[in-house]
Structure 1
Amino acid sequence: MKKVRTVVMMYVILFTIGAFAQHTSKNYFVNIESDSVSIGYSKTTNIVFPYAIKSVDLGSQDILVQKAKGLENILQIKAAKREFIQTNLTVVTADGKLYSFVLSYNEQSPQLNLSINKTKAEGQEIYFSDESRNGEEIEEYSKLAFYDKKKIRGENENKHDIKLQLNGIFIQKNMMYFRIAVRNNSTITYDIDQLRFFIRDTKKVKRTASQEIEILPFYILNDVAAIDEESENTFVFALPKFTIPEEKYLAIQLLEKNGGRHLELDVKNKKIEKVTVLPTL
């Protein structure tokens, strides 16, 4: 009888331990509250984070987002179109914390400068990117790319008497240098609204936040706001080095300010892989 009681007690203990293990292995979700931010089309909203920004995800292509030039913890946001439908923005910082924002359109009174609260009392630090320490070096490599005689062919679009041409791709260390010429053969000055770089999907998907990724230049050589009539300007864009995954391509987009003479180059990865290495300074 004593042995029977011992066996029963052992069974009860093992059952209790098993039930407790099953209970503790269950996942419990904790709701992460979102902050509401109002942004505009003609004004830029700045958000200062307590740590360097590591990841940004956009809920819609109706907003424009970039890190402040040379800084790692300041995010700049503005509307890409007026009266956009409310959307969201997700940011992950170097300390592993996730921030969620609901973005709404407000052209009259957008929130311009915001700072994420810190647990410690000292003032907000500014985190400079590693690239900012090498700004002068990148400028010199941009000049080397500008004067380099090696050219690539076949990457151009010509319409509305405007020619957009990618005629050189170079690399040195962790930066790539894209040499782009814009020729205005018309009798009307071409005012540049945007000249931007995107990695896009070859096959369009109806709803996905990763369908289009913008690559922001660290430095632009010969940056001008307009191309005079019957004249040309050659830019050099210094971009963080990258390659393009399968079923994607690089789109170089040129938009005219207050006009309709828009052009776009679609560049495949095989062209980018033929990059020219610049000589070391």
Structure 2
Amino acid sequence: MKIKSILISLMAFVLGPFVWGQEALDTLYANAQMNVALFFPSPIKQAITGNENAVFSYDREEAHYFGLLQAIKGTTTNLWVMTLDGYAYEFKVAYKDRLPRTHLFLNEQHSLGGVRPLPARKLDTLFEDGTRLALMEQLLQQQNGENLGTVRSKGMQLRLEKKVYQGGEMFLVFELRNKSGIDYDLETLDILRINGSPKSKTSYQETPLEPQLRFQQPETIKSGSTYRFVHVYPKYVTGAHERLKMVLLERQGGRRLELFIK
């Protein structure tokens, strides 16, 4: 399951031409008493460890260039990091009582190479019948003030209006509002299933959900504008200790929003 989580995280990307420099670092040593700081040449977009024995903490609200690594005794795992400039990094992680170093400055030569997002899929290539289309258009026409959760940061507002189940699918209706005075170029809006608390090093886990369709999602949210759109996912009902996390990322910018719902 843990390996599957890593693979799903990478499914949203297609490997581009690799730019190989020096080999990636063999091993990072960490423990629970000290933080090991990793500094990247570009802000961190996403990071995940191979098991719960290692925790990599980074700012999920506003993209920054560094993260902090810790591990408990017995750790043997790996760490994947994706940065906003499109580079992927992988490190081995092991526990050590006495750390050889507590900080590390990285560059693109430490990366596995450059990656690029999958091209956007056109609506008319995703379904032939009009059942799903009719439902999505109906959901966008209905504006009755429903609100399952809202997050605001730096003039940007992300709101989940509705969560609708039909057949084997889950429809999420979003609203994005820009009051920042600056246009917002949308990089991604990712949905992740989370289990446990990020404060717990042994039980916290994030698993990305792969969308079947993004309907009327804008590429740019103009200043002063509001957009509503729909994401379609395979039907999923959260368990007793699970939540969904929505992560909105800006292209070539640091504005990031995270929304948690049950």
TM-score by length of 2: 0.54
Residue of structure 1 equivalent to 2:209: 215
Alpha-carbon separation, structure 2, partners of 1:223 and 1:85: 31
Give 1:87-102 correspondences, 5 Å limit. Answer: none
Residue of structure 2 equivalent to 1:72: none
Larger Rg: 1
Post-superposition offset of 1:213:
1.2
Question: 1:108 and 1:201, CA in 2 relative to 1: closer, same or farther beyond 3 A?
Answer: closer
Matched, 1:250 2:255: no
Post-superposition offset of 1:58:
3.9
Matched, 1:64 2:23: no
Higher RCO structure, 1 or 2 (CA under 8 Å, sep 6+): 2
Unaligned runs of 5+ in 1: 1-54, 69-77, 88-104, 111-130, 269-281
Q: Is residue 62–residue 80 contact of structure 1 (8 Å, CA) maintained in 2?
A: no
User: What is the count of residue pairs matched by the alignment?
Assistant: 169
Alpha-carbon separation, structure 1, partners of 2:8 and 2:87: 8
Matched, 1:261 2:255: yes
Alpha-carbon separation, structure 2, partners of 1:174 and 1:208: 32
Q: Is residue 194–residue 206 contact of structure 2 (8 Å, CA) maintained in 1?
A: yes
Give 1:1-281 correspondences, 5 Å limit. Answer: 57-58=3-4, 60=6, 64-66=10-12, 82-85=87-90, 136-153=130-147, 155-204=149-198, 211-268=205-262
TM-score by length of 1: 0.50
Post-superposition offset of 1:142:
1.3
Post-superposition offset of 1:236:
0.8
Counterpart residue type for residue 213 of structure 1: T
Alpha-carbon separation, structure 2, partners of 1:167 and 1:63: 26
Alpha-carbon separation, structure 2, partners of 1:59 and 1:153: 29
Counterpart residue type for residue 172 of structure 1: Q
Alpha-carbon separation, structure 1, partners of 2:245 and 2:226: 21
Alpha-carbon separation, structure 1, partners of 2:243 and 2:146: 17
Alpha-carbon separation, structure 2, partners of 1:247 and 1:220: 27
Question: 1:199 and 1:108, CA in 2 relative to 1: closer, same or farther beyond 3 A?
Answer: closer
The CA RMSD measured in Å over matched residues stands at 3.8
Amino-acid identity (%): 20
Bigger fraction of residues in helix: 1
3-state SS, counterpart of residue 238 of structure 2: coil
Alpha-carbon separation, structure 2, partners of 1:233 and 1:108: 35
Post-superposition offset of 1:79:
10
Post-superposition offset of 1:165:
0.6
Q: Is residue 162–residue 184 contact of structure 1 (8 Å, CA) maintained in 2?
A: yes
Unaligned runs of 5+ in 2: 15-82, 93-109, 116-124
Post-superposition offset of 1:81:
6.6
Q: Is residue 227–residue 233 contact of structure 1 (8 Å, CA) maintained in 2?
A: yes
Q: Is residue 87–residue 113 contact of structure 2 (8 Å, CA) maintained in 1?
A: no
Q: Is residue 5–residue 208 contact of structure 2 (8 Å, CA) maintained in 1?
A: no
Alpha-carbon separation, structure 2, partners of 1:160 and 1:245: 32
Q: Is residue 84–residue 252 contact of structure 2 (8 Å, CA) maintained in 1?
A: no
3-state SS, counterpart of residue 229 of structure 1: coil
**CA-to-partner distance for each residue in 1:102-131, whole Å, 9 max, x for gaps?**
xxx866688xxxxxxxxxxxxxxxxxxxx9
Post-superposition offset of 1:241:
0.9
**CA-to-partner distance for each residue in 1:71-103, whole Å, 9 max, x for gaps?**
xxxxxxx9997351257xxxxxxxxxxxxxxxx
Question: 1:249 and 1:135, CA in 2 relative to 1: closer, same or farther beyond 3 A?
Answer: farther
